[in-house]
A and B are shown apart, each in its own frame.
Chain A
């Protein structure tokens, strides 16, 4: 398939070249496969067998000679043909030369490597730059991209395929990407039937094996980094056993969550954690308040006590009078002089005063 395509590309490249003359400057690899139908058809592009069906008929020969004449005009007559040789031989020569050039020089991109085969058998691996090989049917060069590639596995939505069982028989939904690159291009090309699919399958298998050995809490929380490392290592070992010629750069878990069906219960845990934290915070606030108050009271007492110690009697009386002053200045006082007389207390008046005061307070 590839060989045929290559043929077509080369042929069209040559056709395009011939528009500017047989020795026209080569603009690199001009063949992009769609030049076949375009441009004037010139005889060198056509394989000789094209003429076979009508071979020998005069009209055909006439047209052939027509072509030759035209091309002679185009070449300016100074070139071959003056010695009387048939032109198609030169055409063939030019064709072969171009063939040689286009199938012998290969440009390998900076991120690529080229694997060269001789008659289909592996010959060598070449690096970036212009590389010289024998022309096509003998040697061929295949490009292999050596860049790091990423392979995403699992999707954000909870499909059944992404669910993995943990050791404690819980189910988690894992989404991750595998970063890998080709290490040995020849092994990559020749050892596995479908290396890209193999990498995907091996990744799934390795992930399942690792997650089956950790608990749910590790898998959705702190154990992620460890899981990533172990999956990468496991994949590398399996692929090396296959001789896949692939290097696993790393595995990155994008998301590992409990499945949507039980997400609500997991949110309850988060809510409980927050509740417990706020309980603790309230208690801390209370504790600080109580202790600060005790320290303040104690400090105040200590101050007074120090003074009291210096002059106990005076300080005591002073405190007593100050307090009484303050208290009695604000309350209604009734002093009953004679102890022998039963005092008459105007209780209704007292009550009236007591009622008036709240109203006053409310108005204020």
Chain B
């Protein structure tokens, strides 16, 4: 029997040594990281460096070997990273203020340079953040307020991106995108006056809506009156003389006999003094 098998402790010991050695030699480079191999503090080479248009599965990721204990791996993110800017107040050329929240997205394309200049992603972000702020202020400060509201329309955001990119290249990074997340009026007077103008605009709208309503109502009434007059004229115009008689009869009934008035005092206490000459009493007198 193999004597080695009788001594499991020794085997285990050897296996562990082997494992440690393997661990120090081989490493898995994931798709999300770029590896800078450093020998005694000196960066030697880069594994899985970002290249534009790379297809997943054909990148440099995978199993790599290095000299154990001599070389170390420094991991640098390969993904698109995000950087938030602190709130900036910008002043437009027409002296209006706007508070702007922006973010930039960048990618480390030259890990070697990045490692030699700033070492970590965090330090890189700290370097770029103030540059983004000043680039933003510079570009936006050249514009009118109206343009600031939709800076995506023109060349503006691209200018900011280019300015920031120039700085980022020194650190081996590339700016993918700069966007304004939020643009607000500053608290206090500007915000209050904006609210005030919204209020007065609404009040003006309310007044004009009421006036329009009144106008339309009047027109509707007048048209109805005109239509009624037309109907009357069309009917009564056929014989004005008869109309006069007919209407007089109606009028007598209403005024003297109280017809049409709902349960009013009958006759309204009218007393009529008639002369026998009256047409109604013609027959009364018995003459022919």
Contact = CB atoms under 8 A, between A and B. Distances in A.
Interface of A: 48-49, 51-52, 55-56, 84-86, 88-89, 117-124, 160-161, 163, 165, 167, 169-171, 186-187, 189-194, 197-198, 201-202, 204-205, 208-209, 212-213, 216, 238, 241-243, 258-259, 261-262, 264-266, 268-269, 271-273, 275-277, 279-280, 282-284, 286-288, 290-291, 293-295, 297-299, 301-302, 304-305, 308, 312, 316, 319-321, 323-324, 326-337, 339, 343, 345, 350, 353-354, 357-358, 361
Given A89-B5, A330-B267, A301 B62 contact: no
A49 B149 CA distance: 66
B272 to A, nearest CB: 5
Contact of B272 (A167, A242, A332): A332
A283 B105 contact: no
A191 B80 contact: yes
Contacts of B257: 326-327, 329-331
Nearest to A203: B181
Contacts of A55: 9, 12-13
Which DSSP category, helix, strand, loop or mixed, fits chain A's interface? helix
A223 B207 CA distance: 24
Nearest to A295: B231
Interface stretch (B111-119, B133-141, B197-205): B197-205
B266 interface: yes
Interface string B219-262: 11101110111011011101100110110010011001111000
Nearest to A172: B198
Dominant secondary structure at the B interface: helix
A191 B79 CA distance: 5
Given A238-B179, A293-B228, A327-B256, A122 B210 contact: no
A120 B202 contact: no
Nearest to B196: A262
A51 B206 contact: no
B61 A120 contact: yes
Given A121-B61, A298-B231, A336-B275, A275 B210 contact: yes
B94 to A, nearest CB: 12
Given A86-B5, A167-B150, A192-B79, 11 more contacts: A51-B12, A55-B13, A165-B183, A169-B149, A201-B179, A204-B182, A205-B103, A265-B198, A272-B209, A330-B258, A333-B274
Given A121-B29, A330-B266, A282 B217 contact: yes
A301 B266 CA distance: 26
A276 B195 contact: no
Q: Which of B59, B62, B81, B149 has the most CB of A within 10 A?
A: B149
Given A262-B195, A279-B213, A319 B245 contact: yes
Contacts of A354: 269, 271
B224 A286 contact: yes
A108 to B, nearest CB: 19
A304 B223 CA distance: 28
A83 to B, nearest CB: 10
Interface stretch (B37-45, B165-173, B276-284): B276-284
B184 interface: yes
Interface in B155-204: 176-177, 179-185, 187, 191, 194-195, 197-203
B176 A241 contact: yes
B216 A121 contact: no
B281 to A, nearest CB: 7
Nearest to B234: A298
Interface of B: 1, 5-6, 8-9, 11-13, 15-16, 28-32, 56-57, 59, 61-63, 77-82, 103, 105, 145, 149-150, 152-153, 176-177, 179-185, 187, 191, 194-195, 197-203, 205-207, 209-210, 212-214, 216-221, 223-225, 227-229, 231-232, 234-236, 238-239, 242-243, 245-246, 249, 252-253, 256-259, 265-267, 269-277, 279-281
7 contacts: A121-B31, A190-B78, A193-B82, A279-B217, A327-B257, A354-B271, A361-B265
B105 to A, nearest CB: 7
Contacts, number: 306
Contacts of B183: 165, 208, 212
B256 A209 contact: no
A357 B265 contact: yes
B235 A298 contact: yes
B256 A330 contact: yes
Contacts of B207: 272
Given A86-B6, A208-B181, A337-B276, A326 B259 contact: yes
B149 A336 contact: no
A303 to B, nearest CB: 10
B195 A117 contact: no
Nearest to A332: B271
A262 B235 contact: no
Given A197-B82, A294-B232, A205 B275 contact: no
Nearest to A309: B239
B174 to A, nearest CB: 13
B114 to A, nearest CB: 15
A290 B225 contact: yes
Contacts of A277: 213
A191 B89 CA distance: 32
